[in-house]
A and B are shown apart, each in its own frame.
Chain A
Amino acid sequence: MAEASQAQWEPKIIGFLCNWCSYAGADLCGVSRYQYPTNVRAVRVMCSTRISPHLVLDILKAGADGVLLGGCHIGDCHYISGNYYTEKRVRLMKRLLEESGVEPERLRLEWVSASEGEKFSKIVTDFTEQVRKLGPSKVKKDEKLRSRVAAADDASETFRLKALVGRELNLVNKGNVYNNKLDPAELDRIIDSATEEEFERSLILELSMSKPRSVKELGEIMEVPTDKVLRHIVALRQKNMIAMEHPEGFTPTYKTIVIGGEQ
């Protein structure tokens, strides 16, 4: 298929809408005949809490121009607390998008109740415009960007980030095993630095998948100081995720260990 020219390009936006509020709000929008642009393709899920960062990042990696997440207003989630987690996960997704270089504005989370039909049409109109201004997704054409998004996706699936985000609400509300309640801002800082670290490690694994790379090379591609890259590599080697390969002369290279031939 020929490349669509910039002029006829239409944003492709995927919407994930929860069954009980935002999907119902979109239904009411239809019943009330509020008009909006045709760019959003909605996928129905039972609750916005179903949307793991992986789903969103994988779709952006596949070239979607924007992703719209719809949930019930805080306090109204049909599953009581689902959308609290959605909010936390979206924060993580945006942080990871920032790391990857994809504009975080391509992702939007909105609360729409079953009675907010008109609001739904306004959101879609507004978000479509926003994505239009950002232009077509560059992920497909830009290989470097693509590997960074892949790394963001991998990072979102790491035990550390998933456990942190999953436990975040409990850590803040109920306290950790020592009964210390964590300050939410402090926890956000912990998650942010973990996010950066996991992203960089995932990116090293991503880049060293197809061919072995040296620390210097990785540092240049990633635009990260080499001492930091080296620290990541030490950690990754401890976890048996990366292997040193044929040290040529004095510069060793590293290659990702692929388990069970995955990926």
Chain B
Amino acid sequence: MIHMAETKVNESEKPRIGVFVCSCGSNIGGFVDVPSVADYAKTLPDVVYATQNMYTCAEDGLSNIREAIRKHNLNRVIVASCTPRTHAPLFQATCESAGLNKYLFTFVNIREHCSWVHMKEKDLATKKSKDLIRMGVARARLLKPQEEAKVEVEPVGLVIGGGVSGMTAAASLADMGFPVHLVEREGDLGGFVKILNNLYVTEKSAAETIKPLIEKVTAHKNITLHLNSSVKSVEGFIGNYEVGIAPKGGEEKKYKVGTIVVATGALEFVPEGLYGYNQYPNVVTLTEFEILCRKKTLPKLKSVAFIQCVGSRGQKMSYCSRICCNVAIKNAINIADNYEDMLGVMEKQGTLVDKIPVEKKATEEILERRRRRRGRGTEGEGDAEEVKLGPSEKIEVTVFNRDVMAYGVEHELTYNKAREKRVKFNRYTLDHLPKVFMEDNQLKVTYFHETLKLERTMPVDMVVLSTPLVAQPDAGDLSKMLKVPLGQEGFFLEAHVKLRPVDFATDGIYVAGTCKGPADITEAVTQGAAAASRAATPMAKGYVQAEALSSVVDETKCTGCGTCIEVCPYGALRKNEKGIAEVIVAACKGCGCCGATCPEGAITMTNYTDAQLLAEAKAALQEEV
């Protein structure tokens, strides 16, 4: 549903332009002759008022704009200052508060694009500032007031992914009173956490920790659970999405939702071909190690080596996975403390063969996981020799690391605790990677002792490889369906790392948890709650106002060739009953692709017409008069 918002439009025959040139303290004033620029502005066509401000964005600068609009009956306002990317909304709001349609405002950037990049050429920078203002005036003269379309928002949420972040988002939205569809492709909720043993910092069981959340989500009257299901199609735009959800092998059903939260998580990197993984028995990933511990199926061990940053920080992935140091420390403490607890039941009775390959000893869960991640079956690689070990014997734990990233208050304490328990932290560098090999039926690690400057070899019973979290291999499908971007590493990319961490650039779609990069549970939950509150905002308001930045089809020129429909990335164009192209204003993002494409020249862009762009550009070619 679209209807036009009531905005006061101040349309008068002849442009009356006001120009406000900002000094930004000395940011502009120090490198550009601001008074002469303001004087010059007065000489330009249709400029009836020009002035300079010390800080245009400060209250007296803003009230100066408001007063001048009233006093000089301005119907166009130009501010020459910093960048529209940060300050346009402020000045536009100021214009509106003085009764001037915000689309009659023009921004001229003389700071980022001038004073700050020409700091040693005051004359040339001053000349350029004048040129830029002349261009702004040329544009301003051709501007037209615009009305913004108001779009109703369906107050129903969709959350994709039933891990901790998705469950948190769904529960928050549901608590606020919005019906929520929660789609999880597996048979249970919980995501990655459900395979973990215990959780760092609290040391509580992972299953126990998330049980209340799972129960809440399952029982919530506002949440519709779609387990074993996935999203098959997404049409529409903020407030008005139609999504198709289908259970595995079942039929797709359509639902109307207003906002979408993506919380599809991540997987651990499979270190195929690294450090003897899948080559020697008892070389496992950190994830597999957690499964062994949780299932209480550890083989007897006397010495365990963790190798950190396997595949991360510039080896396969560029990034630091952020959680693995703390996870390794957690597990190191676990085995130092509760090793006996996690032994296989048979081992406790002292009757079973030790050090048989993990593939054989491990539970079906690990086997199944390896098969799934690799897409083929696996068998263990020969049996290792029997070694008798008393379960009570002290266990030696070594963590080979490049740096220990135990950030923050708690992790540093945990790190210290591990050291007290005599967990050894051995540093390695990229020049001297540790090597894992098998000799005389004994797993061994060779490493370079950084202090002694010597190569050392130690026998170990198990090697645990800390591999990074990596993007879901099929994240691209969802990215295409939702038209939201992935970053270089395949994780979902937020609108702004600092300022909009749980938004996508596309309105109405939000993101939380490890699907946007490595995070621990605390962070995933925080993001889930944050994404829910961002998604709730337009739903609580009930409508969104679309910026008047869209394409306009001239019905008299359009021949219905359909090229524009082909190129629009948002499906914002369709043919009407007359076979002529028609814009869905609320879906159009104003990119201008259709306009540049239409072979009949039938499409123009509001506020970015050819005439406006050409006038602005050509004004630069004139000489200063």
Contacts and interface: CB of A to CB of B under 8 A. Distances in A.
Contact of A85 (B114, B132, B567, B610): B567
Contact of A79 (B564, B591, B623): B591
A29 to B, nearest CB: 6
Given A30-B116, A33-B117, A163 B561 contact: yes
Contact of A59 (B563, B567, B618): B618
Contact of A41 (B84, B128, B598): B128
A121 B113 CA distance: 10
A14 B617 contact: yes
A55 B601 CA distance: 13
Given A38-B125, A41-B132, A166-B599, A76 B119 contact: no
A97 to B, nearest CB: 17
A234 to B, nearest CB: 23
Contact of B116 (A33, A38, A41): A33
Nearest to B116: A30
Contacts of B118: 35-36, 38
A188 interface: no
Contacts of A63: 621
Interface string A1-37: 1000000000010101001100110111111011110
B621 A62 contact: yes
B558 interface: no
Contacts of A85: 567, 593, 596-597
Interface residues of B, number: 55
A167 B127 contact: no
Given A50-B608, A58-B614, A163 B599 contact: yes
B288 interface: no
A51 interface: yes
A178 interface: no
B84 A35 contact: no
Interface string A57-81: 0110011100000000001101111
A179 to B, nearest CB: 15
B113 A52 contact: no
A80 B569 contact: yes
Contacts of B567: 81, 85, 166, 169-170
Interface in B115-168: 116-121, 124-125, 127-128, 131-132, 135
A250 interface: no
A113 to B, nearest CB: 11
B589 interface: yes
A166 to B, nearest CB: 4
A82 B591 contact: yes
A45 B139 CA distance: 13
Given A38-B121, A49-B591, A55-B614, A162 B109 contact: no
A54 B262 CA distance: 40
A79 B621 contact: no
Contact of B620 (A14, A45, A82, A158): A14
A35 B566 CA distance: 42
A200 B200 CA distance: 73
Given A36-B117, A55-B614, A79-B593, A30 B566 contact: no
A163 B116 CA distance: 43
B325 interface: no
Contacts of A36: 117-118
Nearest to A64: B621
Nearest to A1: B623
Contacts of B592: 45-47, 49-50, 82
Contact of B84 (A31, A44, A157, A170): A44
A120 to B, nearest CB: 9
B14 interface: no
Contacts of B600: 159
A76 B487 CA distance: 8
Contacts of B563: 162-163, 166-167
A177 to B, nearest CB: 11
Given A163-B599, A166-B566, A82 B621 contact: no
Nearest to B566: A170
B605 interface: yes
A236 interface: no
Contacts of A82: 569, 591-593
B608 A35 contact: no
A144 to B, nearest CB: 21
Contacts of A258: none
A52 B598 CA distance: 10
Interface residues of A, number: 58
A50 B605 contact: yes
Given A29-B117, A30-B112, A38-B127, A49 B596 contact: yes
A125 to B, nearest CB: 11
Nearest to A20: B505
Contacts of B117: 29-30, 33-36, 121
B281 interface: no
Contacts of B131: 41
Contacts of B614: 55, 58-59
A134 interface: no
B515 to A, nearest CB: 18
A12 B619 CA distance: 11
B593 A43 contact: no
B583 to A, nearest CB: 15
A80 B483 contact: yes
Contact of B85 (A19, A29, A55, A162): A19
B506 to A, nearest CB: 9
A182 interface: no
A54 B620 CA distance: 18
A47 B591 CA distance: 5
Contact of B591 (A43, A50, A54, A165): A50
Interface string A162-193: 11011101100000000000000000000000
Nearest to B479: A80
Given A43-B617, A59-B617, A51 B596 contact: yes
A213 interface: no
A29 B593 CA distance: 27
A170 to B, nearest CB: 5
Contacts of B570: 79
A27 B85 contact: yes
B123 to A, nearest CB: 9
A47 B593 contact: yes
Interface string B457-499: 0000000000000000000000000010100000000000000
A42 B109 contact: yes
Most buried by A among B118, B595, B597, B601: B597
B613 A12 contact: no
Nearest to B620: A41
Contacts of B83: 27, 30
B613 A81 contact: no
Contact of B608 (A26, A46, A162): A46
Contacts of B132: 41
Contacts of B483: 80
Contacts of A79: 569-570, 589, 591, 593
B29 interface: no
A29 B116 CA distance: 8
Given A14-B620, A27-B109, A166-B563, 9 more contacts: A16-B617, A24-B85, A44-B84, A50-B605, A55-B613, A59-B621, A82-B592, A85-B593, A160-B599
A-B complex: 7 closest residue pairs judged by Cβ atoms: A50-B592, A30-B112, A79-B591, A162-B599, A30-B116, A41-B620, A52-B596
12 contacts: A14-B617, A30-B83, A43-B135, A46-B590, A47-B591, A50-B595, A50-B605, A50-B613, A52-B610, A82-B593, A166-B598, A170-B567
